[in-house]
Amino acid sequence: MPCDLILVLDLPDQEKTDQVLDRVGSSVRWVKIGLQLFSRYGPSIVESVAARGYRVFLDLKLHDIPNTVARTVDSLCHLPISMLTLHTSGGSEMMRWALEAQRAGNPDLLLLGVTVLTSTDQAGLLETGVTASPADQVGRLADLAVAAGMKGLVCSPLELPSLRRRLGDQVALVTPGIRPTGADLNEQKRVMTPGDAMRAGASHIVVGRPILRADDPALAAQAILAELETTP
């Protein structure tokens, strides 16, 4: 299936963001805005980036009581965003309420359920009292999300094959933890190359530092896209 590249804008301020986007240009169609920029600038950073022609993935990982999450989704629906995250560990009621708000406020917005963060391994789960393996926990949360009506999930690339077998092609799988061959893993523990992630069933891959820290960010993005286009 086709696979889109999403550039992570994990940057400290508007100036750095504008500089990166000026250099990347039209090499990417999608960008991800997370808590760092949104906490500093709020909706204005989303509107500024979207005005450049990018599709925006707003990654806030909402997790609260159902009413609060639903009202937050309703508040965000007016923004020019195409995807928005919430934690599947918030439970099925929270996800259902969020979906109701999304359908009423922006039918085209895709809510994505975050399963297990790519920085979390078996030891990290055990610290929080979860005895399941990361793969088993991802499967459990994925089933919960799909049963609640979610049409998209965020997962590690290592869980892609099992989720595709489990869920078929009707659910978008958005995959961070992507590192081109030879790139620094940083804190990511469950990673995969772009081509391997596409073969495993990713609908979108999320890449940050390998592009942001490259001498030529546009060229780095183009190399990843070329790998995706030539992956059988």
Catalytic residues: 61
Q: Cα–Cα distance between 210 and 81 in angstroms, integer?
A: 24
